[in-house]
Structures are given as C-alpha cells and as structure tokens.
Amino acid sequence: MQNVYFDNAATTPMRQEVIEAIIEVMNNNFGNPSSSHSFGRSSKSLIEKCRKTIAGFLNVSASEIIFTSGGTEADNLILKSAVRDLNVKHIITSKIEHHAVLHTVEALQKEHQIRVSYVNLDEAGFIDYFHLETLLQSEEKTLVSLMHINNEIGNILDLKRVALLCKANNALCHSDTVQSVGHFKLDLREVPLDFLVGAAHKFHGPKGVGFAFIRKNSGLKPLVLGGEQERGLRPGTESLHNIVGLEKALKIAYENLEKETYFLRDLKKYFINSIKAEIPNIKFNGASFDKEKSTYTLVNVCLPISHEKASMLLFQLDLKGIACSKGSACQSGSSQNSHVLAEILSHEDLKKPSIRFSFSIYNTKEEVDYVVGVLKELI
C-alpha cells in the first residue's frame, strides 16, 4: 500500500525551506513587535519586510496588506466591516462561494437586513456576467464578493472583468483568492479590486496565517478591539514566525511559478487521461477537465457507482492510503452533499459520489497510477 496525498486544495505540506525559516525566527526573534527595545524593533522590521514582499507580488502598497489568521478571518473582516462602516446595503455573490463568505453574508442579511443577490450560474458553474451587470444597476451601496478560483471545482473567474464592472457601477469588489494566491499572478494595478484575501497553507506555508489586501483609504474599521497592530485593523500581537513562513512560501512559489505550473499542468493532464482510459463512464464536474477554464491544481470527478456503494468510498480510499475529499475541508464530517455541486449537477448525478483530487509539486505520476488503479478496482 502507498500513501498518496491528493488533498492539496484543503492544505499543502510545508516546504522544507519554510520550516527552516520559521525555526530560525522562533530561535532568534522572540521580541514583541510592538516593543520599543531592540528585540521588538528586530521583530517589527521582519514583519514590515514580509509585508513589503507580499505587496510587491500584488503590485500594491505595503500599507494595504494586513496580516490575519487566514482567509476566513480576512473574509469576515472585510464583509462585516463593509456593511457596518461603509454603508453597504446590497451584497452580490454566488451560491458556490466558500462558506467563509456565504455564512458571513447570511449572518449580515439577518442582523442588518441587507439585500443579498445571487448571480446566475451556468451548468458548469460559471457566473452569468450579463446578469451580474444587471444586478449592479442598483442605487444602494453595493459590494460584490466572488471567488477567483472555486475551491471545489476549480473554475476560474474573469476577475478583471468583474472588477471593471464593479468600478463602472460604483460598487465595491471583494474576492476570496485563497486558491489562486501563490498559483497565479495577480496584478492589482491592472485588476482594480478593493479587497482580496490569501492564506499561507494553500501554497506550502504554515497554517494559521493569511492576509487581507484592503485598498488605501477604504474606511474599514477593526472587528476586534485592543491594540494598534496591523494599521489598527487587526489588533493582537502578530504571529511573527508564521508571517515569515508565509512570506518565504509565497516568495518561493512565485520564483518557481513557471516551472511548477508546467509540472502540475502535465500531472493533471496525465490524471485526466489515465482516469478516462480506465473508467470510461466518469464525468468531470464544473470545468475541472479544461486546462484553460480551470486551475491546474485540482480535478473533481463524478464516479459511475451506486449511492449504496458510494457511502463508504472515501473510507475505502483512506484504507488504501489515499487522501482526497468530497468537497471543502471545512465540510469534513458533514453528511450533506457539497453545496457547490448541488447548484450545478443533475439530481441523478448528485446521487453518485463526486471526489476532488488536488495536486502539488510533491505528487508524482506513479501516485496517479496507484490512485486510478485503486479507483478502478473499487468501482
């Protein structure tokens, strides 16, 4: 039996260089970044160096990067503050967003009676841009929240088109880019977003740290009170070693982007061709089979087996040493089907098991052969 980790959309293994950078900081830079003595100043200078590096990759000002505990906190900070502080009365989103956005929007709708509109989707899970434009014809202060890359089916949103539509209609634009930061280049001078979020553990960095891009003079205020850290928007002593780990991981990701993208595109293509050859009746959910319209990091497949046989499939794969998922890791343990697939699959296909396989640079074609062979055997 092999051990194969094909759940990189949930989290990625840390690079060795990142681990070493974190250990070095934990050993040598323990001062509180808010302290005025040399130990504190040393820690503070490291944080500002990291902030500047991340801002450089996004082509924004360092002051527009706010460190958080991850994507979920950053999404909450932006959405809740926008309603409370920026007088947003209307949020446009889709029904296949991450729950960090969907649950926050639902809570805001109940607590603040804001209006929520869901943009139409086609059968592959892509938004209807013309419907979005129609929804933007509103006299209310509006915020659009649409993810760049869907974490379950891998569809890529035309982020520039959405941002320009928002700008033309005086709406704010927020995007959860957790699945794209570190995997795709994002130039925020060219793509005029107001808000964006990222998380280190999606690109071989540590868990428990991420960031929000909040465009200068946005007017947002903190959700948590207690200090002036992170430009006053995110009080609390910064997790220095994690921030350094985030910066190191992002730096390596972008320095090696072309080479690693080529490797992963090839691996995904090999997976698709192999599974189609061995399991002819397989279906691909969303546009995850399309190399242009979906991310190169994942494939979501609908397997041609009965509901009864499907109930133990993930357990059987786990017994064979294969890690994958039926959807977002945040839904782990839930008996409910994926809310993403529920929006785009037929009633019959929803009865069949759908599995997300997501890849990293640490995977191999030999692992693909093993996984496809096990799937064929089980089916």
* Residue carrying structure tokens 């494939």: 299
CA distance 275 to 289: 11
302 is catalytic: no
Token pair of 11 as six digits: 């989290």
- 93 forms beta bridges with 118
Distances (CA, A) of 332 to 45, 329, 336: 39, 5, 10
DSSP for 194-251, please give it. SEEEEEGGGTT--TT-EEEEE-TT-----SS-S--TGGGTS-S---HHHHHHHHHHHH
Amino acid identity, position 372: V
C-beta neighbour count of 158 within 10 angstroms: 15
CA distance 230 to 63: 9
Indicate left, alpha or beta for 333 from its phi (over 0: left) and psi (-120 to 50: alpha). Answer: left
Write the burial class of residue 152 (CB in 10 Å: 0-12 exposed, 13-18 middle, 19+ buried): buried
Contact criterion met (CB below 8 Å) for 355 and 341: no
SS3 9: coil
CA distance 57 to 203: 14
Which positions ≥6 away from 77 have C-beta within 8 Å?
66, 68, 212, 220, 222, 223, 233, 234
* Residue carrying structure tokens 């005086």: 170
Q: Which of 144, 163, 162 is nearest to 79 (CA)?
A: 144
Kindly name the residue from 50, 166, 173, 330 that is annotated as catalytic: 330
By annotation, the residues acting in catalysis are 330
